[in-house]
Amino acid sequence: MSIKGFQGTSLLDFPGRVASLVFWGGCNLTCPFCHNPALVLDPNACPDLDADALLADLAERTPFIDGIVVSGGEPTLDPTLSDWLTRVKELGLAVKLDTNGLRPDVLSALLERGLVDVLAIDLKTSPDRYAELHTGPVDRDALIASIRQAMAAPVTVEFRTTCVPGVVNAPAIHALGQLIRGAPRWALQQYHPAPALDPAWREIAPYSAEKIADLATIARQYVQEVVVRGVV
Ligand code: SF4
């Protein structure tokens, strides 16, 4: 178990509902633009929360919250995640999973066990560029397998792309769009450079609102709904 913290948030796709956001440490990518570098580069610097104590805390909160958001880092790396979420579901709480989609076997097991109600998969760039997001090898086929599972899953699904200049451009949006054609929702987010994992990426100017609108126009060719978030 490698839970590093939690806080209140809104539960995506449960309008008006409230959730607790639970962070896992560690990741199988090292995206240079990552906004949670401490969780990725040095997860052991933060003490693990006790899983049983956190469940007891969540149980006390059930009159006030509707679910939890499982985020990170990359929570699917935790071999105890499935059992822990089983206990969360026994509390009657909904679960939203945020994942980079590189552990399709884990995702498959969670979906089969009915442990995910809302699934958000990050699409960083076109699959053939994922090697740029890590110091080690990246299995692009794993991402594609997770996308296929998500497209067939009987849960609420959202794909998300942070529009990082140099990583996300029109060809990348086309490549991703072809993979998720017909998906219910694709959220495009503006890049905010300040907390980036790689200091050099903190100097990259985000795309303008107009540029993101152009990317959204391309994305709308492929999916049912495109939402744009975080544009300033
Ligand atoms: S952006 Fe997400 S997938 Fe990339 S390193 Fe950070 S937590 Fe991992």
Sign, Cα dihedral of 217, 218, 220, 221? positive
Pocket test for ligand 1, best of 4, 28, 29 (most atoms within 8 A of CB): 29
Residues of the chain scoring pLDDT < 70: 1, 4-16
Instruction: Note the Cα 84 to chain centre separation in Å.
Output: 19
Contact 173, 167 (CB under 8 A): no
Pocket test for ligand 1, best of 4, 27, 28, 192 (most atoms within 8 A of CB): 27
pLDDT attached to residue 45 = 87
* Ligand 1 centroid from CA 123, angstroms: 11
Q: Is 27 in the pocket of ligand 1 (CB under 6 A)?
A: yes
pLDDT attached to residue 200 = 96
Owner of token pair 């969540």: 58
Residues 160-214 have pLDDT tens digits of 999 999 999 999 999 999 999 999 999 999 999 998 999 999 999 999 999 999 9
Contact 17, 10 (CB under 8 A): yes
Q: Across 100-190, where does the E strand assignment appear?
A: 118-122, 156-163, 186-190
Which residues pair with residue 202 across a beta bridge?
none
